[in-house]
Structure 1
Amino acid sequence: MALFSNNENKPKDYEKMLDHILPDPKTELDDSPYSTGLGMNMARDARKVINGKMKIDEFHKVYSSSLTKEFGNSYAGGETENKKKGDGPKWVMVIDLRKCVGCDTCTVSCKAENRTPPGISYNVVMESLEGDFPNIKAVNLPRPCMQCDKPACAQVCPTRATYKMENGIVAVDHDRCIGCRYCIVACPYGARSYDFGDSYEQEMIGYNDVTSPEYGKERGPREKGKTPIGTVRKCSFCFHRLQRGEEPACVETCIGDARFFGDINDPNSTVSKLASSPRAFRLKEELGTQPSVIYLR
């Protein structure tokens, strides 16, 4: 069997792979105690706001009354709380698809580092075999959170629990998140998951005793009724590791050296140079989300 490199694939080919893992919006929201129709409509219009087809004032005018009725005092109206760009780093991840071998080391190391529960993986690798024997092509597409500069997930969040940090990371304030899951259906990359409270405790005694300090905050043992159980979770570029001067776990453990991480504001950084490569592209660029994950094909 001949395995050919996937450098002939176009961005649209990878986007089709991504679309296969996107959650069904109605199914996702029907499992939530909040309005399915409101969430689906907001997700649709949030993407219009992001790509300039709808003004932000119009968006708030359309949904303010419904959000107040649906969420009461939990609703935080007004603009999203995206932080202004400062003089610090703007973190970006570059993934070379020619080097990715589909080993899933990134997925495993991410789960181990962030101690995510069953059903939640911040990093996934989509795999596909194309062609006819013996001319078969292996195609791999790793997908962390895109850390969008213009995140639709933040636009639909009724409590403003999702926001953008100065360093470009899209964060979740678990103490403000009410688990409505509107952000899950708004995200065009399938990068968000709801924490149902499942655990590996039966398979790994003591699993719940240690949790990862998501966004640098220690929360103690994993217990029912404590966040992040009942909230939405996602990749944070291993923010707690960045605070220690380390790279995200998926970057550090990639056996094919397919991942690069750094400050794109630094013109001498590796990621800044790779972002200028003719091989560089972002998934679903037409949406206007401006992802901070850049691929090389």
Structure 2
Amino acid sequence: MPCAPPTQRGTMIGKGYTRRKSLVALAGAAAGFLVMAPARKARAAVQKLFTSTGAPKGYDPTQHKWLMAINIERCIGCGLCVEACKKENHVPPQPTYFRTWIERYIIKKPRPGQAAVQGETVVDSPNGGAGGFPPCEIPREEILKAFYVPKLCNLCEHSPCTQSCPVGATFDTPDGAVLVDPKYCIGCGFCIQACPYGCRYFNPYTRTADKCSLCYHRITRGLRPACVEVCPAEARLFGDLKNMGPDDPIAKLVRTNKLHTLKPHLGTEPRVLYAGLDKEVR
């Protein structure tokens, strides 16, 4: 459409459309935009969710908020969770690719004459914990304490990975998951570098970034993540914050334990919570 002649474009003020009215109208339009923008963003997120994940049509992501809790005192380091995750999500079989893994922490006693409360911290994770852990080579009498720490995507409320992706291939979902759309991922690796928890890897077969998806294809159909399903010690707990009753396993854990997150100083606000988290865990 051609622009109106200058005389017509400037006649509005002459007809009583004052500067004050212009500002009022502009403010009203801005307010309307601010109200509509979050709604549009939410609808776009939901649409992207269904397009990229294949979630069932009856699933409403706005009615859920997923989180996971891990009770370190219950983890036995069997590695079944790692194996189940690899099988369920087609993670490359090589021992350097994991969506979830287990680390073994061994805190040694201080050496004689040392004023420290504890000694060296030794951390290992052979094959990501898949298949369990070999016997510890450190003599038992030198060990102060030892424990296992399962790790996975931390479901950050303020996720650095989504902020670093230049094409929007990695995104937050309304129900709290952080996903990667392989159709749009260009394999630049920015998100892998941005994750402060080391939870992402480059898949050599798909040539895209990959990570824990909470087994999104399962939880949107009423199933638990594979790692939670196979844990024989119930060290991993999975729940819905928006639909959580007092008898929910995570609610019970909160009542009886003090929960922590990994690297809280980063301000990412993870939704993976740990009970019995030692200060030596990094």
| TM-score normalized with structure 1 length | 0.59
What corresponds to 2:6 in structure 1?
A: none
Q: How many residues align?
A: 188
Amino acid at match of 1:266: N
Task: Provide, for residues 30-61 of structure 1, a one-character-per-residue CA deviation record: whole Å limited to 9, x for no partner.
Answer: xxxxxxxxxxxxxxxxxxxxxxxxxxxxxxxx
User: 1 or 2 for the larger relative contact order (CA 8 Å, sep ≥6)?
Assistant: 1
Unaligned runs of 5+ residues in structure 1 are: 1-78, 198-228
What corresponds to 1:106 in structure 2?
A: 81
Q: Secondary structure of the residue that 2:74 maps to in structure 1?
A: coil
Amino acid at match of 1:184: I
- Conserved? CA contact 2:73–2:147, under 8 Å: no
Offset of residue 244 of structure 1: 2.5
Task: Provide, for residues 163-190 of structure 1, a one-character-per-residue CA deviation record: whole Å limited to 9, x for no partner.
Answer: 1011100011111110010111110100
1:276 and 1:289 map into 2 onto residues whose CA distance is 24
What corresponds to 1:185 in structure 2?
A: 193
What corresponds to 1:97 in structure 2?
A: 72
Match of 1:145 among 153, 162, 170: 153
What corresponds to 2:216 in structure 1?
A: 239
RMSD, aligned α-carbons: 2.4
Alignment of 1:113-152 (within 5 A): 113-117=88-92, 118=94, 119-132=96-109, 133-134=140-141, 136=143, 137-152=145-160
1:86 and 1:129 map into 2 onto residues whose CA distance is 40
Match of 2:265 among 263, 271, 286: 286
1:276 and 1:188 map into 2 onto residues whose CA distance is 29
Q: Report percent identity of matched pairs.
A: 38
What corresponds to 1:73 in structure 2?
A: none
Offset of residue 287 of structure 1: 1.0
- Conserved? CA contact 1:93–1:292, under 8 Å: yes
Amino acid at match of 1:90: K
Unaligned runs of 5+ residues in structure 2 are: 1-40, 47-59, 110-139, 277-282
Amino acid at match of 1:246: L
Task: Provide, for residues 202-237 of structure 1, a one-character-per-residue CA deviation record: whole Å limited to 9, x for no partner.
Answer: xxxxxxxxxxxxxxxxxxxxxxxxxxx110000001
Work out whether 1:296 is the aligned partner of 2:275. yes
Work out whether 1:252 is the aligned partner of 2:252. no
Work out whether 1:261 is the aligned partner of 2:238. yes
What corresponds to 2:174 in structure 1?
A: 166
1:257 and 1:267 map into 2 onto residues whose CA distance is 18
Offset of residue 83 of structure 1: 4.5
Q: Secondary structure of the residue that 2:222 maps to in structure 1?
A: coil
Offset of residue 82 of structure 1: 9.2
Q: Secondary structure of the residue that 2:229 maps to in structure 1?
A: helix
Q: Secondary structure of the residue that 1:265 maps to in structure 2?
A: helix
Amino acid at match of 1:289: T
What corresponds to 2:280 in structure 1?
A: none
| TM-score normalized with structure 2 length | 0.62
- Conserved? CA contact 1:83–1:166, under 8 Å: yes
Offset of residue 273 of structure 1: 4.4
Alignment of 1:1-12 (within 5 A): none
